[in-house]
Amino acid sequence: MGSTNMSYLNPKTVILIGIPGLQHVQFWIGFPFLGVCLVALLGNTFLLIIIPIERSLHQPMYIFLAVLSATDLGLCVAIAPKMLAIFWFDSYSMAFDACLTQLFFIHALQGMESGILLAMAFDRYVAICNPLRHTSILTPFFLTRVVLMVAIRATVLVGILPILLKRLNFFHSLVIVHSYCEHMAVVKLAAEDVRINKSYGLFVAFAILGFDMIFVFISYILIFQAVFHLPQKEARIKAFNTCTAHIVVFLEFYILAFFSFFSHRFGHVLPYVHILLSTIYLLVPPALNPIVYGVKTREIRRRVAQMFVLKSTTQQ
C-alpha cells in the first residue's frame, strides 16, 4: 500500500487516453480533426496576412479579428499535436509539468478569445449607437489597451489554476480521461481536498466567460434597439448586416463553451460525448471564424481571390 501511495506522490508523468470508449476508432477520428485544424491554420494565416496589407481593413473590428485569429492559431497549436499523436501513434504519456503548461495555454487562450469577442461587440455598439464618435473612441491607443487588458486578465486568472494544481501531492490515478489536459479532468485525479481548485475554476469561468457573455448580450440589446429605431428599412438592414458575422461567431463560441463546461461539472453525459464536444468546441470555432468573416467581408474575399490568381499566374 505504501508503494502505491509513493507511485502517485508528486507524479512526473500522466497518461492521456484520448476518447474513452472510442479508442478502437479514434485513429480514424483523428482525420476529421486534422482537416478542421488545417482549415483553421490556413484560414487564420490568410487573415493575419490580409488584414495588415489591406488598408481598408485597418479598422477596429478587423484589428480585433486579427488578434482573434492569432488566438485561434494558438489554440490549434496547443491542442492538435498531442491529440493527434495519441490518436495515431499511441503517444499516451505526458510530463506532468507539460500537462499543466498545455492546460494553462488552452484556458488562457479561451479567455482571450472570449475577451476579444466582447471587444468586438463594443466596437459594433459604438459604430451603430454612436457612429460620430467611433473614430475618437476606438483609437489605436485604446485598442492596444483593450488587447493588453484582455491578455493580462486571462493570463493572471488562468495562471493560478496550474499553481493550485501543483500544490497537490497525492493522486489516486494518473490516467486523464481526455484527449488534452483540461482543468477539471486533472482535478479529478487528486486524492486530496480539491474544493479550492473546483471553486476557483468556477470563479474563473464566470469571471471571464460569464462576465463577457452578459456584456455582449447587453451590447446587442442596445444595438438592436438602435437599429429598430432607424427610420429607413435599408439603413436597418445595412446596420444589422455589419453585426451578423460577429453574432454567428459569438453564438458558436458561447453555446459550445457553456455546454462543455456544464456537462463536465453537472451533467450526466457519456464521457466520449463530452470529450468529443469539448474538442469540437475548441477546434471548430477557429476553423469557422475565418470562413464566416471571409464570406461576409468583400475586401477579404477579394484579397484571397487575388492571392490565388497571382499564384496560378506565377505557376503558368
Q: What is the pLDDT of residues 12-40, one digit of tens each?
A: 999 999 998 888 899 999 999 999 999 99
**CB distance 112 to 73 below 8 Å:** no
Q: Which residue has the higher pLDDT, 207 or 276?
A: 207
Q: Which residues pair with 13 in a beta bridge?
A: 95
Cell representation of residue 77? 497549436
Provide the mean pLDDT of the chain: 87
Taking the C-alpha atoms of residue 62 and residue 185, their distance in angstroms, rounded to an integer, is 35
- Predicted pLDDT at 5: 47
Mean pLDDT, range 52-75, rounded to an integer: 92
Q: CA of 217: how far to CAs of 16, 97, 211, 221, in Å?
A: 37, 38, 10, 6
φ/ψ of residue 13, rounded to 5: -135, 160
Q: How many CB atoms lie within 10 A of CB 189?
A: 20
- Going by C-alpha positions, the residue among 163, 182, 237 that lies closest to residue 19 is 182
115 pLDDT above the threshold of 80: yes
Residue 4 — pLDDT band, cuts 50, 70, 90?
very low
3 pLDDT above the threshold of 60: no
Mean pLDDT, range 61-85, rounded to an integer: 94
**CB distance 212 to 118 below 8 Å:** yes
Q: Which residue has the higher pLDDT, 250 or 170?
A: 170
Mean pLDDT, range 41-46, rounded to an integer: 93
Residue 110 — pLDDT band, cuts 50, 70, 90?
very high
Mean pLDDT, range 3-10, rounded to an integer: 59
Query: Which of these ranges, 77-91, 230-244, 298-312, has the smallest mean pLDDT?
Result: 298-312
- Predicted pLDDT at 314: 52
Mean pLDDT, range 143-171, rounded to an integer: 96
Half-sphere exposure of 182 (CA within 13 A, CB side): 23
Q: Which residue has the higher pLDDT, 27 or 274?
A: 27
Cell representation of residue 78? 496547443
Q: CA of 166: how far to CAs of 100, 162, 163, 264, in Å?
A: 8, 6, 5, 22
Mean pLDDT, range 186-194, rounded to an integer: 92
231 pLDDT above the threshold of 70: yes
- Predicted pLDDT at 1: 39
Q: Which residues contact 160 (CB under 8 A, 6 or more apart)?
A: 200, 204
Cell representation of residue 176? 486523464
Residue 154 — pLDDT band, cuts 50, 70, 90?
very high
Residue 298 — pLDDT band, cuts 50, 70, 90?
confident
pTM of the model: 0.89
Q: CA of 35: how far to CAs of 28, 38, 78, in Å?
A: 12, 5, 16
SS3 79: helix
Q: Which residues contact 95 (CB under 8 A, 6 or more apart)?
A: 12, 13
- Going by C-alpha positions, the residue among 156, 155, 201 that lies closest to residue 182 is 201
Residue 265 — pLDDT band, cuts 50, 70, 90?
low
Q: Which residue has the cell 469540437?
A: 280
Cell representation of residue 198? 473546483
Query: Which of these ranges, 51-55, 169-173, 257-261, has the smallest mean pLDDT?
Result: 257-261
275 pLDDT above the threshold of 70: yes
142 pLDDT above the threshold of 60: yes
